[in-house]
Structure 1
Amino acid sequence: MTVDSTSVRTAVPASTDRNLSSDIGLLILRVVFGLLLAAHGSQKLFGWFDGPGLRANNAAFEEMGFNPGSFFGTLAGLCESVGGLLLALGALSPLGAAIVLGTTIVIINTSFSGGLLTGGEGYETGLLYATAAAALAFTGPGRFSVDGNRPWARGGVVWGVIAVVVAVVAAVLTLIFKSVL
């Protein structure tokens, strides 16, 4: 009888500790990943953090075949900034994950010919960002987020699949418009 009561008492704190650890891990992942991505977007849009700024960014998009560069370059900067901030805050997480995942699918496509690990020219970073965004789409933001314990908080398989489908559709449409325009 003593063994049973001891195992019951230790099971609850271990489970609670595991949930707390998961929430802290999600917080760290969301904040670091989201703010880094938002910083990339602000480089494109505003020239912050030694970025090119909107005019040079849009010209670079033109050179990569995204015409008009002003549309696609601005869209990329906005997606990185808004998606990154949504993930960092844990607000509307499936939407933030879909925005980021769609953007990173286009990044992977654009850099795919460079190979996986080729000195910054490959698609390694895009793949890493896409993986983090997809993982957050399925897990949700965790307890320590704007959406934590709110009725509209979403996560799980259904919302993860919805976010991935929306991201893939958006990325495919972007790549189709790139080749058509």
Structure 2
Amino acid sequence: MSWGAVIVRVVVGGLFVGHGLQKLNGSFNGPGLEGTEKMMESLEMEPAKTNALAVSLAETGAGAAIVAGAATPLAAGGLIASMVTAIRKVHAKNGVWNSNGGFEYNAVLIAVLTALAAEGPGKASFDALFGKARWGAKGALTALALGIGGSIAAVEMGRRTAEKKSAESGGDLGGTAEG
């Protein structure tokens, strides 16, 4: 699967780089960091600025690592975390199918990244230079654990920070209190 892995790495990793750059600096008609921060606020992913920068850099950097076939399970884990969080915060409520705003596409990306972490980036990769052209089940489980764990941590941090922010403002998020 060596050349097949290269094709998957370049397409999937390259698209993640583009997606990350959309968030980071507005490339490819993206929202840029300011728009991404607003999205994070709307999703209660506080602190929004930190989460916006984190997801932008994670998608860009991990996408580039996937293209290069470098630290594949770690890179896949970072991207899986982004996709799991997108499912949890945006798509799950819409069901499976992408046509309804569901998580179909995210699930496919998670499956591809998990398979890539298991089968490895192939012989034409940085990992192969260090004897890791194939990672096996350990690579897949590492990527999934990092992805799911990263999502849980990000969403929980967002929830707790949003609650703290609300409590500090007296629970008033812009409304008026009438007695």
When normalised by structure 2's length, the TM-score is 0.83
Choose from 7, 14, 25 the match for 1:35: 14
C-alpha distance in 1, partners of 2:93/2:156? 18
| CA gap 1:40/1:120 in 2 versus in 1, 3 angstroms | farther
Partner of 2:66: 87
Partner of 2:119: 139
User: 4+ residue runs of structure 1 moved beyond 4 angstroms?
Assistant: none
For each residue in 1:53-85, what CA deviation from the matched residue of structure 2 results, as whole angstroms up to 9, or x when unmatched?
A: 111111111012212211111111111111111
| CA gap 1:120/1:148 in 2 versus in 1, 3 angstroms | farther
C-alpha distance in 2, partners of 1:152/1:116? 34
Letter in 2 for 1:142: G
* Aligned: 1:103 with 2:82: yes
> In the alignment, is the contact (CA less than 8 A) between 1:97 and 1:137 conserved in 2?
yes
Deviation at 1:101, TM superposition (A): 1.1
Deviation at 1:49, TM superposition (A): 0.6
Partner of 1:61: 40
| Unaligned 5+ runs, structure 2 | 162-179
C-alpha distance in 1, partners of 2:71/2:52? 24
Rg larger in structure: 1
Letter in 2 for 1:40: H
Deviation at 1:153, TM superposition (A): 5.4
Choose from 139, 143, 147 the match for 1:159: 139
